[in-house]
A and B are shown apart, each in its own frame.
Chain A
Amino acid sequence: MSLPSEISFVSLLQYSPGGSDDIAKQSRIIRDAIKRDSYVPVRQSDGQIRQVRAIERAADAVKRLTGEHPFLARTFGADVVLIPMPRSAPFRDKSALWPPMSICKALKARGLSGEVLPILERVQPVQKSAYAGRGQRPNPEDHYRSTAVTGLAELPMFSAKKVTIVDDFITRGSTFVGVYPHITEAFPGWTVQCFALVRTQSFISIDQILDPVEGTITCRNGQPWRHP
């Protein structure tokens, strides 16, 4: 196994874990709603307040912005296969909450994917990156060892040969780097892309939540760094 030294990723939203202004607070409400696949109160243009499922709302934004951002158009489309990122622990119950799978389904429902393949599995738990202290965070190699591709009988018939790994959050990018070799191995000759709905902005203040970007994850000495 050889971990990639650099991969690109695409992200739609950003959130501030510690900011105290209204944008930061709103970003954390959206973070919570995506983590729980729940609803947020949104004031409509007519002044009415409506409960909106955050993941659906974000998928609408991807669809709306695909024309403006070529990197979104490259990442999604009717000929793109989506693979939801596994949770940090194995599933005991197949009906369990799985936000990356919900994101994939919402994107596919909007014509932004041809097929969703839940083939990447967590076979042993790792500590959640968001709560692990420095030095305890699982590194890419931990993610590689704790995941596997299962149940992929044959490759889908899409001439574009593009597959996008979909996660709900990206902190440093360890998970993407760790699972990337599994997907390139399972999809030889395919273009493998990474999409995280929300990126954590721990060290800078944010002035908007909706901020589509294409960035890179660089991996040196087993430690990944995300930019932006």
Chain B
Amino acid sequence: MCTPEELLGPLNEVERKYAPPTLFVAGEPEILTNGGRISIVGSRRASRESLLRAGQLARILAERGHVVVSGLAAGIDTAAHQAAIAAGGKTIAVIGTPLDKVHPRENASLQAEIMREHLCISQFPSGYPIQPKNFPMRNRTMALVSDATVIIEAGQKSGSLSQGWEALRLGRALFISEWLTKEKDLTWPAEMLNYGARILSKETLDELLEELPDRHGTLILDELAI
């Protein structure tokens, strides 16, 4: 058990507003000192194309030494975690249940692997009930942990949207899969673009990478640097 500041470093007042008081972690916290941290999130019932997109992006990021963050839900989350691991990279799961529970059940072995060899974070203590309101809270925490968020696929009422809005509030980069911006049934992509989200395509992948801080090796500043 630790505070968000103990895990992530000092927070500013915008970050503190919705930061949970405590976090429960299992795995390797030193993953947080590696490369940039990018959330790849989206629908539990995603299309085959979106699952492939999530996996492809996770692989690219992992191969470049960045850490893939997701929520260990079915669909996009699972595809992102699995692809990062398969590429030899590191992944962080920010879950909506206590560490000793699994949701969905079919991700039990993936959660165990992440808790053993990667990093699993929960804001819910053991015994805390699993209820729908946990997940938007978890999404805010996932935005806090991440330097950038990518929404791969999401409907009008998707929980991923709460993470997108929180990323924008925190001043972190939010990217939306390009194809979502062309879906006539969806109004949220245009709304998020109006408030600062950007489109993720092959052409703009570098923009995403530009947003990521270099955490490989901590550089201590000289007192006179500024």
Q: Which residues of A are interface residues toward B (Cβ below 8 A)?
A: 13, 22, 25-26, 28-30, 32, 35-45, 49, 51, 53-54, 57-58, 61, 87-93, 95-99, 102, 124-125, 130-131, 209-210
Cα distance A209–B224 in the bound complex, in angstroms: 9
Contact assessment for B9 and A92 in the assembled complex, using a CB-CB cutoff below 8 Å = no
Interface 0/1 of B194-226, CB less than 8 Å to A:
111010000000010010011000111111111
Task: Determine if B170 is an interface residue (Cβ-Cβ < 8 Å).
Answer: yes
Contact assessment for B223 and A42 in the assembled complex, using a CB-CB cutoff below 8 Å = yes
Contact assessment for A40 and B221 in the assembled complex, using a CB-CB cutoff below 8 Å = yes
Q: Which chain A residues lie closer than 8 Å to B172 at the CB level?
A: 36
Contact of A210 among B9, B210, B226 (CB under 8 A): B226
Interface of B is mostly: loop
* 4 pairs of A and B residues whose beta carbons are closest in the complex: A97-B171, A89-B196, A39-B10, A37-B12
Contact of A36 among B171, B218, B219 (CB under 8 A): B171
With A37-B12, A38-B10 in contact, is A93–B223 under 8 Å at CB? no
Contact assessment for B195 and A89 in the assembled complex, using a CB-CB cutoff below 8 Å = yes
With A90-B194, A95-B17, A125-B194 in contact, is A43–B168 under 8 Å at CB? no
Cα distance A89–B196 in the bound complex, in angstroms: 5
Q: Which chain B residues lie closer than 8 Å to A37 at the CB level?
A: 12, 14, 171
Q: In the complex, how many residues of chain B place their beta carbon closer than 8 angstroms to a beta carbon of chain A?
A: 29
7 residue pairs from A and B, CB less than 8 Å apart: A25-B214, A43-B223, A61-B226, A89-B194, A90-B194, A124-B194, A209-B226
B214: nearest chain-A partner, CB-CB: A28
Contact assessment for A42 and B169 in the assembled complex, using a CB-CB cutoff below 8 Å = no
Contact assessment for A26 and B225 in the assembled complex, using a CB-CB cutoff below 8 Å = yes
Contact assessment for A42 and B225 in the assembled complex, using a CB-CB cutoff below 8 Å = yes
Contact assessment for A97 and B170 in the assembled complex, using a CB-CB cutoff below 8 Å = yes
Contact assessment for B219 and A30 in the assembled complex, using a CB-CB cutoff below 8 Å = no
Q: Which chain B residues lie closer than 8 Å to A54 at the CB level?
A: 226
**Distance in Å: Cβ of A64 to nearest Cβ of chain B:** 11
Contact assessment for A41 and B221 in the assembled complex, using a CB-CB cutoff below 8 Å = yes
Contact assessment for B195 and A22 in the assembled complex, using a CB-CB cutoff below 8 Å = no
Contact assessment for A22 and B196 in the assembled complex, using a CB-CB cutoff below 8 Å = no
Contact assessment for B226 and A95 in the assembled complex, using a CB-CB cutoff below 8 Å = no
Contact assessment for B218 and A41 in the assembled complex, using a CB-CB cutoff below 8 Å = yes
Q: Which of B17, B168, B193 has the most CB of A within 10 A?
A: B168
Q: Which chain A residues lie closer than 8 Å to B218 at the CB level?
A: 41
Contact assessment for A97 and B12 in the assembled complex, using a CB-CB cutoff below 8 Å = yes
Contact assessment for A30 and B222 in the assembled complex, using a CB-CB cutoff below 8 Å = no
**Distance in Å: Cβ of A56 to nearest Cβ of chain B:** 10
Q: Which chain A residues lie closer than 8 Å to B124 at the CB level?
A: none
Contact assessment for A92 and B165 in the assembled complex, using a CB-CB cutoff below 8 Å = yes
Contact of B169 among A36, A45, A95, A124 (CB under 8 A): A95
Contact assessment for B10 and A53 in the assembled complex, using a CB-CB cutoff below 8 Å = yes
With A36-B171, A87-B196 in contact, is A96–B220 under 8 Å at CB? no
Contact of A92 among B195, B198, B221, B225 (CB under 8 A): B195
Contact assessment for A209 and B225 in the assembled complex, using a CB-CB cutoff below 8 Å = yes
**Distance in Å: Cβ of A50 to nearest Cβ of chain B:** 9
**Distance in Å: Cβ of B216 to nearest Cβ of chain A:** 10
Q: Which chain A residues lie closer than 8 Å to B9 at the CB level?
A: 38-39, 51
**Distance in Å: Cβ of A35 to nearest Cβ of chain B:** 7
Contact assessment for A131 and B210 in the assembled complex, using a CB-CB cutoff below 8 Å = yes
